[in-house]
Structure 1
Amino acid sequence: MTKHFYYTLAFLFFSTIVCGQTSVLSVEKIMKDPKWMGTFPSNVHWDEHSEYMYFNYNPEGNPADSLYRIAVGKKAIEKVNWKAQKEQLPANGTYNATKTLKVFTQKNILKIYNLRQRTVADIIELPGTISTPIFLEDENKIAFQYENNAYIFNRSSGKLTKITRIVQGDAPKQKSEDISEKDKWLEDENLKLLKVVNQRVENKKSSDSYRDMIKDKEPFTFYTGKKSISNIQVSPNGSYVSFNLITRTGGDRTIVPDYIDASGYTVDLNTRSKVGDDKTQVELAIYHIEKDTVYFVKADQLPGIKDLPDYVKDYPDKEWEPTERDVFFSRLYFSNDGSKAVVNIRSKDNKDRWIARVDMETGALNTLDRQRDEAWISGPGIGWSMGGGTLGWLPDNRHIYYQSEATGYSHLYIHDVISGTQKALTKGSYEVFDPFVSKDGSHWYLTTSEVDPGERHFYKMPLFGGKMEKLTSLTGNNEVALSPDEKHLAILYSYSNKPWELYYKRNKATEHAVALTSGQSEEFKQYDWRDPQYIRFTATDGAQVPARLYTPSPEAKNGAAVIFVHGAGYLQNVHKWWSSYFREYMFHNLLTDLGYTVLDIDYRASAGYGRDWRTGIYRHMGGKDLSDQVDGAKYLIGTQGIDADKIGIYGGSYGGFITLMAMFNESDTFAAGAALRSVTDWAHYNHGYTSNILNEPKYDPEAYRKSSPIYFAEGLKGHLLIAHGMVDVNVHFQDVVRLSQRLIELGKDNWEMAVYPAEDHGFVEPSSWTDEYKRILKLFNSVLLKD
């Protein structure tokens, strides 16, 4: 670069003194190892008898968290010793119908736990890994997966039966009976001339025919070829086995060089392919045990399977022929008695989601629900390409449940598979998360954002719908672990300026939650962390945009502002709980101390606000998600007295992408920007994320041209900092290398780049975090506060 930023001696001397304003915070302090903040509980779960709440914790400041527990009705925290940890039952087991027995695996041993007697018994030990054990409808029988086959163990007789013969690889090749015309003539002539040889041939044919007639039939063997197998499961009635076959033939893998490998050599990391290169296929097969045969579930009769997307109208010169689209099948979901089954099916272009009943005798599908979205299917509980999301059976073996965005928000539905009738159990301008049926099958437990998009609360609701009873009351986020007896709630709770702590209450709406942990360090508690103002501002198109506003004291205010752009795109950061962006939150407190006004926006595409908000960026990333930042700047100018020439913007990953688009396409709005680990060309990102939003480059190239910053680099006017980890296997370092070459060719000299040789996409070293954020602060101080 031919021109560099110039900074005053004051900025270089002490970063937390700006124009006379000071802060007890510093970049070095907030970016050091997070242990300085204290210890906070995680991975909360219960013992089998609802007597103890277990969680990971680290009050002793050890290198890693340890397991702790608190007894119900007590407040004393005790560390779980190694012997007690060893005796803990794994969470991966399954229960019988009455929840009195639990079957699970440990170290290649199938075990069963008797909850009434509190005893563990070994069932069977095998040389390899036993997985996914379940009780069948006849609870004397336990089915499990071992070495890619299904087995049934009979507890009464002690007999172990292998019920499938699935072999990875190709079937043995049969000897070809075809011979050339010349060789056939030679053989016929030889047999005519030599009677003894002819007689022996005839005798062998007779003998082979007899043996074929009297020998036992060989059991059916299914060969997978080059496909991998997953989700092997036996129906509860023991009549069928279902499994998925996955074909992975991804395109060319991209290389990320590691320049500081311990070997002293540059080592190439073989990473993902690029969008449009994914050729993964997922099939669903059924093994009929009595008929001893395998058949596949076909999608060719699904309604709309050949529908073309709406965007084809933008390419009138291209010929589009409707063809059967590729789909992904989820695992099969059997009813509790095994008599029925449903499957979740996703089109590979992710514009359709079908839930269908499967005829177990034929594999034929009967569609129960189709959700079509011309953008892409997603939302809480909707699942992903190879997952079912929220899907299962009610205890009556007649109704299934699932979530759908049919109304614009993800809600809980039930569906009568006999009559075909559907019923929405929840409705309104809010979303539902993680619903599950109570132990006695009489009602639901679920988390929703009904109170506010920025809050999460736990509810109880009748099984077939009705009034929801709110069981939590603390403002913020309440992540509930319900005890097995459903009498107690262990709550991981946090608020905007208060990190996660463990609370307890009985399962009654009128009860108050009691704090059990207090993990903040004395050093962390010395600072009065701000509770950001929870606001909405009006966008140009009339939308109400959620944001968090940090305002300095009148005497500190410097007329400058910084807008933060969260990453991931589909993520929520404007809420009333402790942010996963805790470093950025602390940085915003530092900026505010120094006189900056900070705005943190849940722009279009953010999670938490329903389908229309989520898909607001379809086919144009850097469209409404960028205009929301510009409208946020206008809000700051119009209501907070911010100088229009003193606005900066920064963010990482998707936030880095938006920062680049802002600096290139809205250069009159933003004077400075820091783009961290940013995508610069969406055609170079991965398939799963990008193809949903922009389709595929070969089909919809205009969407990529509109959405990729590298095409707009000539618009740069303000001062730009680019920062990127060199071993980033998510957003590759290649992205910013290509962009830097473009900036050089354009003759731009008001930018700089910081590279981090030891960092992947998510930085881990405090030294890297510190260096990066010192540079960001230096950028804003030098550009936004200059006279």
Structure 2
Amino acid sequence: MRRLLLAGLIALTVLPVAAEPATSAQPLDLETIMANPDWMGHAVENPYWSIDGRSLYYSLKRDGSPVHDLYRVDPATGQSTKLDPAAMANAEGPAVYDRAHQHAAFILHGDVFLVDLGSGRRVQVTRSSQPESSPQFSADGRSLQFRESNNWYVYDIASGVTSPAAVLKFTDDPQAKTPDALQQQQLDLFKELRQNKDDKDAEHAEQQALAAADPTRAPLPFYLGDKAQLLDTELSPDGRWMLVVTQPAHHDDGKAPYVIHYVAESGYTETEDARTYVGRNDPAPQSVLLLDLSAHKQYPLSTDNLPGIKDDPLKAIRDKTVAALEKAGKDDEAKALKAPDVRPITMYSMDSGTAGITWSEDGRNAALEFLSIDSKDRWIATVDFNKHALVPQHRLHNDAWINWIFNDFGWLKDGRTLWYLSEETGYSQLYTKSVDGSAKALTSGKFEVSEPQLSNDGKWFYLRTNQVAPYSYDVYRVPSSGGALSRVTQYGGMDQFALSPDDNQLAVLHSSAYVLPQLAVQGAQGGTPRELTNTMKPGFTAHAWIQPKIIEVPSSHGAGVIYAKYYGPADETDALSSRPAVIFVHGAGYLQDVSESATYYQHEQLFNNLLVQQGYVVLDMDYRASEGYGSAWRTAIYRQMGHPELEDLLDGKAWLVKNHGVDPKRVGIYGGSYGGFMTEIALLRAPGEFAAGAAQRPPADWITYNDQYTSNILNDPQIDPEAYKISSPITYAENLRDPLLINHGLIDDNVMASDSLRLYERFVELHKKNFWISLYPLERHEFEHADSWYDEYRRIDELFETWVKPGTTH
């Protein structure tokens, strides 16, 4: 569950561990490995190029503080400088350029800056208490556009005047109101009232005429009614059009559960609203308006012509549930499940949080990306500005669900050719399509393509792919007109990149097992990289950490192979014939932990080292539902969460028994979030297979998780109650026979602590034994405090020492 159990597997990067001698033979201990992670070092974050391409900026967390400092590094020498507050005044933000490359603009501390590239003159365009964002140049290069929330402004470069692009009012137009019967009677009876109305109408007409003829005036407002709520606005680069995304104004989001703060600064117990449960109310449907800013007219853009939008992909499931409800005499509930005539949609949400809308550079074309609320379809459509209508360009359908990544799209430099990612072959690949032509695949194969970046000259796409092996990622490039896909970097653990303004260099973040993201620079066509940072701490890199071995576990259920990381002693020649083992289960569900990059699970990786030191071997598997292996691997869990994954974990256990002398009765299991869910599923659906399990912050009943994640995989609980029943650990509570430790933060607003408390109460009522719960009053989903990390893993360590290592029978 990327949004669920993952704080973000973002660009991790690495300097090879070999750069630091592994000299430390000091035994590991829990106090050290669960300490504040500052002792390991820091990840280099968010690199971007300076406007002139001669420097790179990056962020680095400050020791002992959540504050991140900004650094500037010279790619030629590798010399880095931390910018103090005074130097920050002359820093730059990630830049955008006009088409003629005469000006650049960026956001710094929430304000807009403009730079003349010829003279180097820098102008601060705004200085406001509200942050601005999204700078873009007009198609003719004469003005700079930017937004403050959903209000767009246009800065005229020659005059220095800033004006609103449009004024939106979500009320009815008072001048457009037709008199009702009583008002008309008043006007018919009284001359003075008629004169007053005529005067107001004349003044309004004069204001409209002046606004139309005089460009120095602020624009007249668009009245959009009181039945809609504004979500997003996107302004065309030519300044002619605006797309406005709305939802119903009074949509009921459903009742929100509480997070309870038992330990609060006030000394009183405090409550906090959390997110609603899945199925308590569907997400609000969204609509799009097209505003003609020149003619001052508005047009709704109907989505009724999107192919398949009137289909019901859930018909078979819906009919079965409706029949069961009608048989039970629940006619009202059955009626509520009737399929809509036209499926409701939402806009795809971009990484910036804005709606899925992209304009061509000349502003003459716009593309919009829609998702069906039932998660089965994604559409890309363009706008016919003459007919004020959508033109469907591409439909991606999945009987399970559309992925929440691999949805990037945009325009080539010609302004008439779309590019987009699609999983239609089973793997994310890159395509182009002219607005009046057919699609063309630029990449193909059984590997994933992501993070496409079009070069500034428009000739190349730079991509992140795992073409060599599912666990190995690098930068590749392919001509935007079509051609061979060629490899640019050679890291295997490449996680993020940024192309220089002149298209000649790549800034690359790369990582490895025990090295957090580091920054390098190399030629955009390939070549030897120059390493620019080394932010790991000597005390950490000096330890002889176990390099995980990436292995292939054969599936006994027709899934091919399951990639995994194996942690074991360096010398296994004298391995015991019967040894204990632990399986670590990564979280998020859709996350890839078996890769050559640094892991998101730093504490767990160090704990795995400690377990090996104590005599265990450890396996970490990318079970089905994990990222990086195509859509069939991802959607294998549709309507049956926990089932294919458990088959894979049991295959992993069998591999350990066969290949590393593991005692099948001495295997423990642990994980957090989705990994905690799988730990509970393993113990409750396969009792006796695992000697003990530790579940951190686990979802125990999917009906109490959120809509955004859960309904994708299990549909709506009213339509598909059986999927929730068979997928939830609480359903199998009566099967508990193996020791289970549950650890949960009490102020977790992602997976509520009530999930674990409800399961705990079921165990109490079922008179179960050997189950424990540990609650952490100051922790949310992602634990932040070293004391909590230590306490959590002390309990896990003791659990395994008691029930797994000695082979206790129970």
TM-score (structure 2 length as normaliser) = 0.86
Partner of 1:35: 38
Partner of 1:133: 135
Distance 2:666 2:247 in 1: 53
Unaligned stretches of 5+ residues in structure 1:
1-21, 192-197, 383-389
Deviation (angstroms), 1:621: 0.5
Partner of 1:281: 285
Q: Does 1:177 find its partner at 2:172? A: no
**Which 10-residue stretch deviates more, 721-730 or 498-507?**
498-507
Secondary structure, counterpart of 1:491 in structure 2: strand
For 1:557-706, list aligned pairs within 5 A: 557=576, 559-706=579-726
For 1:334-483, list aligned pairs within 5 A: 334-378=359-403, 380-382=405-407, 390-418=408-436, 420-483=437-500
Indicate if the aligned counterparts of 1:298 and 1:363 stay in contact, CA closer than 8 A: no
Partner of 1:302: 306
Partner of 2:260: 257
Partner of 1:79: 82
From 112, 115, 123, the equivalent of 2:114 is 112
The amino acid across from 1:54 in the alignment is: Y
Partner of 1:17: none
For 1:483-494, list aligned pairs within 5 A: 483-494=500-511
Indicate if the aligned counterparts of 1:150 and 1:241 stay in contact, CA closer than 8 A: no
The C-alpha deviation readout for 1:17-69, integer Å capped at 9, x for no partner, is xxxxx970111110001111134422222211222222234697777443333
Distance 1:615 1:105 in 2: 40
Q: 1:168 to 1:126 in 2, by over 3 A?
A: farther
**Which 10-residue stretch deviates more, 101-110 or 321-330?**
101-110
Secondary structure, counterpart of 1:221 in structure 2: strand
Deviation (angstroms), 1:280: 2.1
Secondary structure, counterpart of 1:644 in structure 2: strand
Distance 1:551 1:491 in 2: 31
Partner of 2:214: none
Indicate if the aligned counterparts of 1:149 and 1:162 stay in contact, CA closer than 8 A: yes
Indicate if the aligned counterparts of 2:321 and 2:720 stay in contact, CA closer than 8 A: no
Distance 1:128 1:31 in 2: 39
Q: 1:430 to 1:224 in 2, by over 3 A?
A: farther
Deviation (angstroms), 1:520: 3.0
Distance 1:601 1:167 in 2: 53
Deviation (angstroms), 1:641: 1.5
Indicate if the aligned counterparts of 1:249 and 1:279 stay in contact, CA closer than 8 A: no
Secondary structure, counterpart of 1:451 in structure 2: strand
From 719, 736, 744, the equivalent of 2:764 is 744
| Structure of larger gyration radius | 1
Counting aligned pairs with the same residue, the percent is: 35
Deviation (angstroms), 1:308: 1.4
Deviation (angstroms), 1:118: 1.9
Deviation (angstroms), 1:677: 0.2
Q: 1:119 to 1:632 in 2, by over 3 A?
A: same
Partner of 1:97: 99
From 49, 52, 64, the equivalent of 2:52 is 49
Distance 1:556 1:758 in 2: 42
From 141, 145, 149, the equivalent of 2:147 is 145
Deviation (angstroms), 1:279: 3.4
**Which 10-residue stretch deviates more, 291-300 or 232-241?**
232-241
The C-alpha deviation readout for 1:236-294, integer Å capped at 9, x for no partner, is 23321112124453111110110001111000011110001243232211111233121
Indicate if the aligned counterparts of 1:148 and 1:166 stay in contact, CA closer than 8 A: no
Secondary structure, counterpart of 1:456 in structure 2: strand
Secondary structure, counterpart of 2:322 in structure 1: coil
Partner of 1:3: none
Q: 1:588 to 1:232 in 2, by over 3 A?
A: same
Unaligned stretches of 5+ residues in structure 2:
1-24, 209-219, 324-337, 348-354
Partner of 1:385: none
Partner of 2:213: none
Q: Does 1:318 find its partner at 2:308? A: no
Q: Does 1:537 find its partner at 2:553? A: yes
Distance 1:369 1:527 in 2: 52
Indicate if the aligned counterparts of 2:51 and 2:104 stay in contact, CA closer than 8 A: no
RMSD between aligned alpha carbons? 2.7
Distance 1:64 1:738 in 2: 38
**Which 10-residue stretch deviates more, 328-337 or 539-548?**
328-337
**Which 10-residue stretch deviates more, 127-136 or 538-547?**
127-136
Partner of 1:4: none
Q: 1:697 to 1:379 in 2, by over 3 A?
A: closer
Q: 1:654 to 1:23 in 2, by over 3 A?
A: farther
**Which 10-residue stretch deviates more, 259-268 or 337-346?**
337-346
Deviation (angstroms), 1:168: 4.1
Indicate if the aligned counterparts of 1:343 and 1:356 stay in contact, CA closer than 8 A: yes
The C-alpha deviation readout for 1:149-172, integer Å capped at 9, x for no partner, is 444343334554444231245655
Distance 2:61 2:240 in 1: 49
The amino acid across from 1:235 in the alignment is: S
The amino acid across from 1:549 in the alignment is: Y
Partner of 1:271: 274
Deviation (angstroms), 1:660: 0.5
Distance 2:165 2:598 in 1: 50
Distance 1:257 1:624 in 2: 35
Distance 1:245 1:142 in 2: 25
**Which 10-residue stretch deviates more, 408-417 or 554-563?**
554-563
Distance 2:120 2:42 in 1: 33
Indicate if the aligned counterparts of 2:34 and 2:789 stay in contact, CA closer than 8 A: yes
The C-alpha deviation readout for 1:708-751, integer Å capped at 9, x for no partner, is 11010111111110110111010001111111110001000111
The amino acid across from 2:99 in the alignment is: A
Deviation (angstroms), 1:458: 0.8
The amino acid across from 1:440 in the alignment is: D
Q: How many residue pairs end up in the alignment? A: 742
Deviation (angstroms), 1:482: 2.5
Distance 2:536 2:295 in 1: 63
The C-alpha deviation readout for 1:109-142, integer Å capped at 9, x for no partner, is 6531112322202446678554433221222133
Partner of 2:326: none
